[in-house]
Structure 1
Amino acid sequence: MRCRQWRRLSPRCGVKISQGKMNNQMNPIIQPRRICLRPVPILNALFFCVVACIAEAEQLSDTDLKNLLARIRENPVTRADFQEQRVIRLMNKPIVNSGKVWFQPPNKFRREVKGDSPSLTVSDGRQLWIYYPNFKSAERYPLGKRSPLDSTIAAINSALNLENVESTFHIAAARADNGWELELTPRTPSMKRVFQKLTMRISDNLQTERTEMLQPNGDRIATTYSNQTRAPLPPSTFEFTPPPGTDISTPLGQ
């Protein structure tokens, strides 16, 4: 004689459930998992509250921020290698570039991009050249006199030397592991057309390790810096003469 498995009615819904399923519900391994899932929202709220409190405690005061910027400017970085990744919304893969960059406050710089699409960008503070060796072409842009490129130059220079940064950006800074985190947001409409936000990672030895720029269209440019030096640079670093046979254009018509 075969015995049927004993079944009982569920007190909650009046449906019959098997003894095996009831055993699973009372299993000491399974059941605590169900009980522990309930307070997760509370634990998450407490966790984010703690994180927010820590972040608030580590924010630099205006005086500390002023002192930090002064220390960086006392001995500015003049040269670095860089690795750049551009995340463009309309492209499936990011564009990766690498090269070298030279700075001299307040508005001189040189940027050499290597790889399959090399380029050279040079600013002497009065004009900016962009040279494309593969195409033997160069573009010349005037600077100053409210040039449209002035905001772009200011943004580039802020990446390594933070020269005169308070006048053009709102700055929030916090102490982080082995350094500082800075967030720069533009003050002026012209600067806001260049980017929405620039975040910077500053090391304990006062060197910019990483920057990330969020542009108005949602694109992002993340740049890491290495092999930084502070040695003086010769004036010729920021001079450029187009090679013979170069096709020169002036996109701004000046």
Structure 2
Amino acid sequence: MNTDKIALVTGANKGIGKEIARQLGQAGFTVLVGSRDLARGELAVKELLADGLDAVGIQLEVTDEKSVRTAAAQVESTYGRLDVLVNNAAIIPTGDDAASRIETGVLRSAFETNVIGLVGVTQALLPLLRKADRARIVNLSTSLASFAQVGDPESRMSTVLTLGYNSSKAAVNMVTVMLANELRETGILVNAADPGNCATDMGGWDAARTPAEGAAVAVRLATLGEDGPTGEVYAEEGRLPW
């Protein structure tokens, strides 16, 4: 069994996910680069290996139960445990829109990936996280899931009309809180990270923040000490208002 700390990042073949993998690798983790398309994941792995990091590709489509089970079995047979799970994979579905206009199928697709997929991956890997010493779970969230910010008509967040993304990420916050409560006595800390609007396929390449800057808060939560918080959402500037 590999004795290094093991971290799995979903959706890690590009963008913020790849930068989370990179920074965890720099912190000494063996990083499992989860990606829906294994070939694309292997390209990211090649890049990380060239930087001297310990990275391994793993095929993981979060909405495919068979893929999730296979990935969990692969982690178990190779490493026997998992120290960090970062649920990064998410979508803003094509056609995401205001509450008065969004098609129900579009809304459903957002929840399938962003919430149901996240829960399925977490459930599959939780037995391996329980085997680790003080494991950490980090779910990627957003300021667009903050009731305080979106509910403020003076906030830019109130003008973003993507009900599928916003509401599914608000559900991720609730998953985070409920799982943290459930695991509170185990030493496993569960938090959510808001990376901010970064220059990625999802955030738009004209965004001010880099993927590396966005990744930093998730990595900080993934490497919390024993006395770290649990059941909270953090952005770079601190705790995010609910």
TM-score normalised by the chain length of structure 2: 0.29
Which structure has the bigger radius of gyration?
1
TM-score normalised by the chain length of structure 1: 0.28
Q: In proportion to residue count, which structure has more strand?
A: 1
Q: In proportion to residue count, which structure has more helix?
A: 2
